[in-house]
Copies of this chain bind each other. A is one copy, B any other.
């Protein structure tokens, strides 16, 4: 909570920020995106995104499901998995493979090939853009890359400070 430096390299998630503004902007953008593409941003889907947006921590599908059920939505796994699938298909959320968990997209609308930094202590997940380092190796091997999963686990700046 001490520094207001701009996000280096477009990394979002660790730096202190006005989170309610961050949330509002993401929801507005989601609504806009869906309107443009003719997708229905229904109540479950919207609520699911809101739940993910509450923090920059990844949530398991069943955590999301429990929250949805509390709010009066269905209580069976497909409810959560479908809403999360919709958000992922439309670039509004991402799956963190290492954690079998989900986060709201931190760069909605932007070109996507995200990389994630996951703090093992506080669970915060930061999303970086434009890290596509595999192209050289892939080309050399004759491999045609279609999707990438890039995730780093370690300690975020705040938890490092605490540790020291």
Please give, as numbers and ranges, the residues of chain B lying within 8 Å of A120 by CB-CB distance: 146
Cβ 8 A contact of A9, one of B97, B126, B140, B147: B140
Query: Chain B interface: which of A30-38, A53-61, A71-79, A153-161?
Result: A153-161
State how many residues of chain A have any CB contact under 8 Å with chain B. 38
Please give, as numbers and ranges, the residues of chain B lying within 8 Å of A157 by CB-CB distance: 141-143
**Main SS of the interface on chain A?**
mixed
- Copies of this protein, total: 2
Does B126 lie within 8 Å of A143, measured CB to CB? yes
Answer yes or no: A110 CB below 8 A from chain B CBs: no
8 contacts between A and B (CB under 8 A): A14-B141, A115-B134, A131-B134, A133-B133, A143-B157, A146-B152, A147-B152, A149-B149
